[in-house]
Amino acid sequence: AGYWTYDPGFKVTAPVESEITYIDGDKGELLHRGYPIDQLAENAEYLEVCYALLHGDLPNAEQKEDFYKKVREHTGVHDQLRKFFEGFRRDAHPMAIMVGVVGALSAFYHDNLDVTDEKQREITAIRLISKMPTIAAMSYKYTKGEPFMYPRNDFSYAENFLYMMFATPADTDYKVDPVLVRAMDKIFTLHADHEQNASTSTVRLTASTGANPYACIAAGIVALWGPSHGGANEAVLQMLDEIGTVENVDEFMEKVKRKEVKLMGFGHRVYKNFDPRAKVMKETCDEVLGALGINDPKLELAMKLEKIALEDEYFVKRNLYPNVDFYSGIILKAIGIPTSMFTVIFALARTSGWISHLLEMHSAPFKIGRPRQLYTGETKRDFVKVEDRK
Ligand code: CMC
């Protein structure tokens, strides 16, 4: 035993001070730099939100132009980096490829970040935000066995991403539907940051050792991958596939209540009320499906699950509400994104949050993250030679 606090899962521990994002879990409120998430999702572009996360406020017109220009300048990846993709099997999960390739950026930008140099701080953030859509789309193209598409710097951030995903060398005139571009951009905004979640805490912890910032982002991608965190968006669609039709919902819910499975896309460590991102996501889902004229039975299934869960005692008693991942998969599917890319898109968007937190931490004196433990093993005993061991 020690004098420290035992807090498994860090339920009541705040190891950092931060000015970036505020969450009131009881009210279901999420603010980035003071701005409510629904206002940002409705009115701002993702890159403006990135700027705000990094710099403390939304950019004015001049700052916006300058920031966008810089992001456009860094969308390409080094030719040598392209070779990394070829080392993977075609059936690799794109998240596995992302972990490797983003980690490999540390070999291209290997100088340790001089945290006192504003220019180095900025270029690190810009490079990451610029290159993530390129690397994400390349991961997809590789698993499909299709050639990589070079970024189109005359396109917006979301449009360029969708272009690199879906255009082919035979169809470079490929036009991305503006409804889908707007929806994609909103999805990026809704995932941009969420204070000290598991992946952001991982990025902070790794960065607290002074490790290369690109490698720290790779660590964040790993932490995000699990189904309790960013992997939930993929798991929601798998769950909907498994349930199949509305008739099977009641039986599925019984399994959830017997704790045999979880209702994926529900529940949150901090929100004990509606996740405000889920609200915007649901509206966006209706807009996109409406605009595309899609009648997706998965949406009907999801709405039925949500309705039952919001009224059922099991969920009510535990304050379980839909989270950001509940409806995002249905929109992503409507956009044409395959399920295996859902968490990659989360990672792409969360990169702005990760790097903002890393830079915030490095902008003031900080300590290496080093928790303690409650030791529950053997007490001190003498060494036993192998021939004397039982
Ligand atoms: N389905 C069924 N029961 C649940 C669920 C769920 N989705 N989530 C929590 N519970 C139950 C849990 O079994 C526990 O019951 P009891 O009090 O009887 O032991 C109670 O609710 C409290 O849950 P907890 O596991 O103590 O809560 P936590 O804060 O440790 O976990 C969570 C939060 C998000 C990991 C969890 O709710 C979960 O696994 N949800 C499903 C996965 C998911 O949708 N994750 C995405 C989270 S939001 C986006 C992101 O972070 O990436």
pLDDT of residue 257: 96
Q: Which residues contact 190 (CB under 8 A, 6 or more apart)?
A: 37, 41, 277, 280, 281, 324, 328, 349
The upper half-sphere exposure of residue 69, i.e. CA atoms within 13 Å in the direction of its Cβ, equals: 6
The residue length of the chain stands at 390
What's the pLDDT at 2?
Answer: 64
The protein residue whose alpha carbon is closest to atom 35 in ligand 1 is 228
Question: Which residues are catalytically annotated?
Answer: 268, 325
Neighbours of 51 (CB within 10 A): 26
Whole-angstrom distance, CA of residue 341 vs CA of residue 329: 10
User: What is residue 186's predicted lDDT score, i.e. its pLDDT?
Assistant: 97
- pLDDT at position 112 is 61
Total-model pTM: 0.96
Q: What is the pLDDT of residue 214?
A: 96
Cα 237 to the center of its chain, rounded Å: 16
Here the ipTM equals: 0.98
Ligand 1 atom at minimum distance from 270 CA:
29
- Encoding tokens for residue 290? 């409406």
Q: What is the pLDDT of residue 178?
A: 94
Terminal-residue alpha carbon distance, the chain: 30
Closest residue by CA, ligand 1 atom 13: 259
Q: What is the pLDDT of residue 295?
A: 87
What pLDDT does residue 174 have?
Answer: 86
Q: Mutate which of 221, 255, 262 to test ligand 1's pocket (most atoms within 8 Å of Cβ)?
A: 262
Q: Phi-psi region for residue 360, left (φ > 0), alpha (ψ -120 to 50) or beta?
A: alpha
* pLDDT at res. 114: 76
265 lines ligand 1 (CB under 6 A): yes
Closest CA to ligand 1's atom 17: 318
| Start-end of H helices in the chain | 37-43, 46-55, 61-73, 79-86, 94-108, 118-144, 157-166, 178-191, 198-207, 213-225, 232-243, 249-257, 276-292, 297-311, 313-317, 325-335, 342-362
Q: Does residue 197 line the site of ligand 1, with CB under 6 A?
A: yes
Residues of the chain under the 70 pLDDT cut: 1-2, 111-112, 115
The answer to whether 323 and 232 are in contact (CB under 8 A) is: yes
Whether residue 350 has its Cβ less than 6 Å from ligand 1: no
For residue 250, how far is the Cα from the chain centroid?
A: 31
The pLDDT assigned to 111 comes to 67
